[in-house]
Chains A and B, each alone.
Chain A
Amino acid sequence: VLTGDSKDEL
């Protein structure tokens, strides 16, 4: 999982 990267948000 990409941590710290806001790309993990919708």
Chain B
Amino acid sequence: MNIFRLAGDMTHLASVLVLLLKIHTIKSCAGISLKTQELYALVFATRYLDLFTDYISLYNTLMKLIFLVSSFSIVWYIRHHKIVRRSYDKDQDTFRHYFLVLPCFLLALVINEKFTVKEIMWTFSLYLEAVAILPQLVLLQRTRNIDNLTGQYVFLLGAYRSLYILNWIYRYFTEPHYVHWITWISGLVQTLLYADFFYYYFQSWKNNVKLELPA
């Protein structure tokens, strides 16, 4: 465990807590894409299949449980909570995210490290996580005005991915056999998707203006 990895996990945890805090306190999910949250729940469900079979560390197990519980409860809140669901803008959140699931699964069948159910589900979750943010980014482009919490949520997600890339670089130079192209490439693709959001996020922060994405 290196500092980049720990910082990445803490940033990822913070992004989820910011989102839960937003939804739980102001009872609103305005600007949040349910589709992205559903994809994240599926990512964690297919990645943490080894939760009860391979014990790595208390930290690892605890974080997996937190991510699973939080992602599914966010989906529940947006879909079923009587007040929150009213603020969900389903007319704007129209990204056909099911079109992301199948290609990721087919790709996982073709490009993986081992042709076993667990490995294919794990690889599928990597590819899916790389594209899971797309519905959210499309929604942000549509709704134009981005409220602070949503902006912070996406920013923290991007920061977690960037820190993970630093973690992989660090591990590559410190652990002799640490080479995982699939993890690195899908993680890089995912981080690049945030690049333009980061650009506009910093522009708005520097010029102290409201964050707006170009149409």
Contacts and interface: CB of A to CB of B under 8 A. Distances in A.
Contacts of A2: 54, 56
Interface in A1-10: 1-4, 6-10
Interface residues of B, number: 20
Contacts, number: 29
Contacts of B54: 2, 7
Q: Main secondary structure on chain A at its contact with chain B? A: loop
A6 B183 contact: yes
Nearest to B180: A6
Interface of B: 5, 9, 12, 50, 54, 56-57, 60, 63-64, 67, 122, 164, 167, 175-178, 180, 183
27 contacts: A1-B56, A1-B57, A2-B54, A3-B175, A4-B175, A4-B176, A4-B177, A4-B178, A6-B178, A6-B180, A6-B183, A7-B50, A7-B54, A7-B56, A7-B122, A8-B56, A8-B57, A8-B60, A9-B5, A9-B164, A9-B167, A9-B183, A10-B9, A10-B12, A10-B63, A10-B64, A10-B67
